[in-house]
């Protein structure tokens, strides 16, 4: 952590509503350009906006999850500027009365619980997209796709509480995870459904704040961290070589991880905000806030502490689980099915994750259910299958999409625990391998492993490893000269 | 057909007893328009073919379920009708054809009305004379050298010339009532929110209101009861349900707005006409008194700050990117500038600049915010007055129709012609103008009746009672030749 760095973030998250902020058009992506448009989102003359109630609810949900105060009286305002992909040439946004204010988000950074304050959260509409033919500077014409125009956009503004690029990344990671838990945004930075601008300044030697620079266009958590690292170095270098930092907006270039000046603040817009007269002010009642608050899901940090404190899971495993809601839910389901939490975690983060990844399916896809894991753990406990066989069964479940018990029935996977049979076979193997016995007698303990392996091979892997080990050891010990 | 009988009530009666068919009425409408339209210029677009087709699809079985069955209606050309140009009498929208119909228009059509054309207006409804139309100036049927008022001058003149028995207008600061007054017809601006604004090209969203023109109060009432009510497409629309009242004139306590009586600038003949109304009301046993609205004097400046601020924002969408006029420049900024520079007329530009200035940082508090606060004071004045009076009355306009060109170079004097109507929009109240007499030049004088919010039925009932006492039967001399 660097006490001289001051970072604040502005995050735009597209909300996962089915329809746009002010009309009934679909919000889906990748559709044919200008196929999800109507008179309202195209701002045709005479069209009027009508607010999406779900988007308001999602914003209030996010505010509550981020410990904000929810405004009981809010309104929409118009933010005016001319831009070809903005149909009305004003954006319906919020100015002085946003839905949420004064919250915070807690997250771990270097094993320490950090808190970053949230200044405000407001709701606005997204713009369309300009598509340039060829190079942006050279192209003769630009085309506009208005499919995105009017998509609900939630803007979260932090206080300048972040003091390192890493912390910024972890904050964004936690925030994204939180929004995914709330199921209000898919938080996909690469696809632009979550966008982040950073304001960064270095403190002067006397402790006062230096000039603030804004960085835009960071398309991943990694590039956010890189951009900030570059910018800290750049600013330190400018200051140490006697220069001054100018207030400007800089663009992050992914290709060489540098930032470039986009525009200086002198060109700042006069947005001429005024209350949107086409929409009535939004009144949110105590009952509504209460009802949304009661329906909030368990949030990542709370889940993390519950996994550790109530279920006895290790910190690292708990973090891995909560970073993926589907994984965490799968784990919770397993615990509900009475799986031992520690065993469940081992299997989930081990073999199951391996196969989920390999088969490219999600934990909630019902191919491998929590009940299956319970069956497998029971089969091991009942000594019907070995751990090794259990791994084989897991693989088969993903292939055959059947229950573990059906699979062991069909494929005859079962461990041999018939003691008499195992002793007879073991004796035969010991007789057939005099060299191994000699080695053992000479003190080479790994000869035991070799003989157990032979026994396994003889039984096609079905012998109980535990019993095999015990029997071989007993036989060999009997052969040892008695002192 | 007798022009005096060219009302909704008479038409429906004729249809029911089969003395006339909607087709015959359309024949009459279009032949009349062809005869007199060259002198009046009410219409930007005539929809003859569409109208005849619509008539064919009318079923006589529905005459009782559709209150405007077979009633020809003209639509102000700032309201969208699917498939027909909606120009707002502006070059920038000249090529624009909407793919949707304004809710109010759709409700008229659903009630059986036959749209016959789109009427001329001051560009984007900004003006008080219809001289700001980018296409042509409409004439007042009472004297074709005079203006019909504005901005709904096309609609008012179409009803005055008896081209149609019903027309729609939009009223942001008096654009229905003032031309109704100038043209000797009835024009009604309902309570803000009772009629959906969806499909009305916005001028100033917090003031705009759609309303009807007709020759009789009963007819505007019939139209209003059809077009009013909640619309899911306009979130500021109100779930208002119109129910007519029939109260005796004696039951009303009426306030005469002192500030719109004593102030200079009101023609003596206009005031004489008001005095005549007052005398008749008193003789009918109606309580009439002077009442004061102390902040009314600030209405004009407040209006021109609020309306232009909203207009500057509402008109920002006309940039040549998606529809309407586009004048190519060397880059996108140049295209914006060229398109807007050539597309908008001077009055529209003046108001966009005024509004942009009023909203810009450093001026917002002094202008827009201050205006919003004074607007609240004006609303409070009305509220206080309505604690005592059922309706307020005043002249609709300080003068009768003025000559074309008289005020075109003096925007401030033009703005003054809306001094009595503007406060009603600022407060969102229902207001109606009815003809109550003629001045010495034979030009109609209008009386404005203002009511409490959502008491539109009271306003209409009271207007209807005065109408029957006054019994205004005069018609433009133009029609004498019929």
CA distances from A122 to A81, A413, B280, B313 (A): 19, 59, 58, 21
Task: Give the per-residue pLDDT at A267.
Answer: 58
pLDDT digits (tens, 9 = 90+) for B136-158: 999 999 999 999 999 999 999 99
Shortest CA gap B8–chain A (Å)? 28
Least confident of A92-101, A424-433, B122-131, B226-235: A424-433
B371–chain A Cβ distance below 8 A for any pair: no
Q: If you search the block for the tokens 């005079």, which residue do you land on? A: B146
Q: Given an 8 Å threshold on Cβ–Cβ distance, is B199 in contact with A88?
A: no
- Which of B197, B313, B336 faces A78 most closely, judged by CB atoms? B313
Mark which residues 252-281 of A lie under 8 Å from B by CB.
Answer: 270, 272-274, 277-280
By annotation, the residues of B acting in catalysis are: 76, 151, 175
Task: Give the per-residue pLDDT at A137.
Answer: 66
Q: Given an 8 Å threshold on Cβ–Cβ distance, is A50 in contact with B234?
A: yes
CA pair distance A419, A437, nearest whole angstrom: 21
B-chain residue closest to A88, CA distance: B317
For the residues of B110-129, what is the DSSP string, one character each? HTT-EEEEEE--SGGG--SS
B-chain residue closest to A142, CA distance: B332
Task: Give the per-residue pLDDT at B481.
Answer: 45
What is the layout of strands, in order, in the sheet containing B210-214?
Answer: B43-46, B114-119, B72-76, B166-170, B210-214, B186-189, B431-438, B444-451, B391-395, B253-257, B287-291
pLDDT digits (tens, 9 = 90+) for B257-308: 999 988 778 999 999 999 999 999 999 999 999 999 999 999 999 999 999 9
- Which of A48, A49, A88 faces B317 most closely, judged by CB atoms? A88
> A204: how many CB neighbours lie within 10 A of its CB?
12
Least confident of A407-416, B192-201, B434-443: A407-416
B189: which 2 tokens?
A: 């601006």
Please give the model's pTM, rounded to 2 decimal places.
Answer: 0.91
Interface test with A, best of B85, B87, B125, B322 (most A CBs within 10 A): B322
A44–chain B Cβ distance below 8 A for any pair: yes
Interface test with B, best of A277, A279, A280, A283 (most B CBs within 10 A): A277
pLDDT digits (tens, 9 = 90+) for A163-209: 999 999 999 999 999 999 999 999 999 988 999 999 999 998 888 88
Q: Given an 8 Å threshold on Cβ–Cβ distance, is B100 in contact with A44?
A: yes
Task: Give the per-residue pLDDT at A370.
Answer: 95
Task: Give the per-residue pLDDT at A266.
Answer: 58
Residues of B in contact with A84 (CB under 8 A): 319, 321, 332
B468: which 2 tokens?
A: 């029957």
Residues of A in contact with B204 (CB under 8 A): 277
How wide is the angle at C-alpha A60 spanned by C-alphas A57 and A62, nearest 5°? 110
Q: Given an 8 Å threshold on Cβ–Cβ distance, is B321 in contact with A84?
A: yes
Residues of B in contact with A278 (CB under 8 A): 202, 205, 234-236
CA distances from A35 to A25, A323, B58 (A): 9, 35, 35
How wide is the angle at C-alpha A157 spanned by C-alphas A272 and B363, nearest 5°? 20
Shortest CA gap B96–chain A (Å)? 9
B328–chain A Cβ distance below 8 A for any pair: no
Query: Which residues fall within 8 angstroms of residue B159, CB to CB, at 6 or more apart?
Result: B74, B165, B166, B167, B183, B185, B213, B214, B215
Mark which residues 413-452 of A lie under 8 Å from B by CB.
Answer: none
State the ipTM, two decimals: 0.95
Does the pLDDT value for residue B479 go beyond 80? no
- Which of B98, B204, B236 faces A46 most closely, judged by CB atoms? B98
Task: Give the per-residue pLDDT at B264.
Answer: 79
Task: Give the per-residue pLDDT at A1.
Answer: 42
pLDDT band at B408 (very low <50, low <70, confident <90, very high): confident
Shortest CA gap A281–chain B (Å)? 10
A-chain residue closest to B101, CA distance: A46
A138–chain B Cβ distance below 8 A for any pair: no
B-chain residue closest to A79, CA distance: B313
pLDDT digits (tens, 9 = 90+) for B25-49: 999 999 999 999 999 999 999 999 9
CA pair distance A476, B16, nearest whole angstrom: 117
What is the layout of strands, in order, in the sheet containing A77-80?
Answer: A90-93, A77-80, A274-275
B309–chain A Cβ distance below 8 A for any pair: yes
Task: Give the per-residue pLDDT at A132.
Answer: 82
Strands, DSSP E only, in B283-430?
A: 287-291, 391-395
CA pair distance A216, A206, nearest whole angstrom: 29
Q: Given an 8 Å threshold on Cβ–Cβ distance, is A272 in contact with B316?
A: no
Q: In tens digits, what is the pLDDT along chain A, a chain of 483 residues?
A: 456 899 999 999 999 999 999 999 999 878 999 999 999 999 999 999 999 999 999 999 999 999 999 999 999 999 999 999 999 999 999 999 999 999 999 999 988 999 999 999 999 999 999 988 776 667 778 899 999 999 999 999 999 999 999 999 999 999 999 999 999 999 999 988 999 999 999 998 888 888 999 999 898 999 999 999 999 999 999 988 988 999 898 999 888 888 888 877 655 679 999 999 999 999 999 999 999 999 999 999 999 999 999 999 999 999 999 999 999 999 999 999 999 999 999 999 999 999 999 999 999 988 999 999 999 999 888 888 888 888 988 999 999 888 998 888 888 777 777 777 778 888 888 888 888 888 888 878 788 888 888 878 877 777 777 778 888 888 888 777 765
Q: Given an 8 Å threshold on Cβ–Cβ distance, is A39 in contact with B364?
A: no
Task: Give the per-residue pLDDT at B482.
Answer: 43
């Amino acid at each position: 952590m660097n006490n001289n760095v001051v970072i604040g973030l502005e995050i735009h998250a597209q909300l996962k509503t089915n329809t746009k902020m002010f009309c009934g058009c679909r919000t889906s992506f990748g559709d044919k350009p200008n196929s999800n448009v109507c008179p309202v989102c195209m701002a045709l003359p005479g069209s009027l906006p009508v607010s999406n109630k779900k988007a308001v609810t999602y914003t209030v949900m996010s505010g509550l999850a981020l410990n904000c105060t929810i405004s009981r009286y809010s309104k929409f305002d118009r933010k005016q500027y001319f831009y070809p992909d903005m149909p009305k040439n004003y954006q319906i946004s919020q100015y002085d009365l946003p839905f949420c204010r004064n919250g915070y988000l807690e997250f771990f950074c270097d094993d320490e619980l950090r808190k970053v304050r949230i200044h405000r959260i407001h709701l606005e509409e997204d713009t369309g997209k300009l598509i340039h033919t060829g190079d942006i500077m050279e192209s003769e014409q630009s085309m506009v796709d208005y499919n995105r125009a009017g998509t609900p956009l939630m803007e979260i503004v932090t206080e300048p509480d972040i003091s390192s690029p890493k912390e910024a990344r972890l904050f964004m990671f936690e925030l994204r995870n939180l929004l995914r838990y709330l199921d209000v945004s898919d938080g996909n930075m690469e696809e632009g459904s979550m966008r982040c601008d950073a304001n960064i300044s270095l403190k002067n030697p006397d402790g006062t704040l230096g000039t603030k620079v804004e960085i835009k266009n960071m398309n991943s958590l990694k590039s956010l961290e890189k951009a900030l690292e570059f910018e800290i170095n750049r600013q330190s270098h400018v200051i140490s070589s006697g220069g001054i930092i100018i207030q400007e907006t800089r663009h992050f270039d992914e290709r060489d991880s540098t930032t470039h000046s986009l525009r200086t603040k002198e060109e700042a817009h006069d947005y001429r905000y005024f209350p949107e007269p086409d929409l009535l002010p939004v009144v949110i009642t105590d009952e509504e806030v209460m009802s949304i608050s009661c329906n909030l899901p368990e949030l990542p940090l709370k889940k993390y502490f519950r996994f550790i404190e109530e279920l006895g899971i290790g910190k690292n495993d708990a973090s891995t689980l909560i970073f993926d809601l589907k994984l965490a839910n799968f784990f919770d389901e397993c615990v509900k099915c009475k799986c031992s939490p520690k065993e469940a975690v081992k299997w989930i983060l081990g073999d199951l994750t391996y196969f989920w990844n390999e088969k490219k399916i999600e934990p909630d896809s019902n191919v491998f259910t929590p009940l299956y894991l319970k069956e497998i753990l029971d089969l091991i406990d009942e000594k019907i299958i070995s751990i090794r066989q259990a791994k084989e069964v897991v693989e088969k479940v993903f292939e055959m999409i059947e229950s573990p018990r059906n699979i062991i029935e069909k494929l005859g996977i079962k461990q041999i625990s018939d003691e008499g049979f195992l002793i007879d076979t073991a004796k035969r193997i010991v007789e057939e391998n005099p060299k191994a016995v000699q080695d053992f007698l000479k003190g080479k303990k790994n000869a035991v492993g070799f003989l157990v392996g032979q026994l396994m091979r003889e039984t096609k892997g079905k012998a109980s490893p535990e019993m095999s080990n015990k029997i071989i050891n007993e036989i060999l010990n009997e052969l040892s000269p008695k002192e | 057909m007798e022009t005096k009988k060219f009302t909704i009530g008479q038409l429906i009666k004729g249809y029911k007893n089969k003395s006339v068919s909607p087709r015959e009425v359309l024949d009459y409408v279009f032949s009349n328009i062809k005869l007199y339209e060259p002198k009046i210029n009410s219409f930007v677009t005539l929809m003859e073919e569409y109208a005849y087709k619509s008539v064919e699809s009318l079923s006589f079985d529905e005459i009782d379920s559709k209150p405007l069955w077979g009633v020809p209606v003209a639509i102000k050309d700032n309201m969208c009708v699917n498939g027909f140009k909606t120009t707002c009498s502006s070059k920038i929208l000249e090529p624009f054809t909407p793919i949707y119909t304004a809710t109010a228009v759709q409700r008229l059509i659903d009630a059986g009305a036959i749209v016959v054309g789109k009427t001329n207006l001051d560009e984007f409804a900004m003006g008080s004379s219809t001289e700001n139309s980018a296409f042509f100036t409409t004439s007042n049927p009472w004297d074709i050298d005079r203006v019909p008022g504005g901005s709904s001058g096309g609609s008012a003149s179409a009803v005055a010339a008896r081209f149609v028995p019903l027309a729609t207008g939009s009223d942001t600061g008096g654009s229905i009532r003032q031309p109704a007054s100038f043209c000797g017809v009835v024009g009604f601006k309902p309570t803000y929110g009772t009629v959906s604004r969806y499909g009305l090209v916005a001028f100033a969203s917090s003031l705009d209101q759609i309303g009807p023109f007709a020759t009789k109060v009963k007819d505007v009432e019939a139209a209003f009861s059809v077009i009013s009510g909640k619309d899911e497409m306009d979130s500021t629309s109100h779930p208002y349900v119109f129910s007519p009242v029939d109260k005796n004139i004696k039951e009303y306590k009426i306030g005469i707005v002192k500030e719109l009586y004593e102030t200079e600038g009101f023609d003596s003949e206009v005031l004489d006409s008001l005095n005549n109304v007052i005398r008749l009301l008193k003789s009918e046993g109606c309580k009439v008194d002077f009442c004061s609205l102390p902040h009314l004097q600030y209405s004009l400046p407040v209006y021109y700050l609020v309306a232009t601020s909203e207009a500057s924002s509402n008109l920002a969408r006309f940039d040549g990117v998606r529809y309407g006029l586009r004048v190519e420049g060397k880059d996108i900024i140049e295209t914006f500038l060229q398109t807007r520079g050539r597309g908008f007329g001077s009055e529209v530009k003046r108001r966009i600049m005024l509004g942009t200035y009023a909203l810009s940082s450093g001026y917002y508090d002094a202008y827009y915010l201050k205006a919003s606060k004074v607007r609240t004071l004006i609303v409070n004045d009305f509220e206080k007055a309505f604690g005592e009076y059922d309706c307020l009355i005043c002249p609709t306009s300080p003068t009768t129709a003025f000559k074309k060109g008289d005020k075109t170079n003096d925007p401030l004097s033009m703005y003054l012609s809306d001094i009595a109507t503007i406060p009603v929009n600022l407060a969102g109240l229902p207001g109606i103008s009815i003809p109550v007499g003629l001045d010495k030049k034979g030009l109609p004088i209008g009386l404005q009746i203002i009511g409490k919010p959502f008491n539109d039925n009271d306003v209409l009932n009271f207007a209807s009672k005065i109408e029957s006492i006054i019994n205004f039967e005069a018609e433009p001399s133009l029609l004498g030749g019929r």
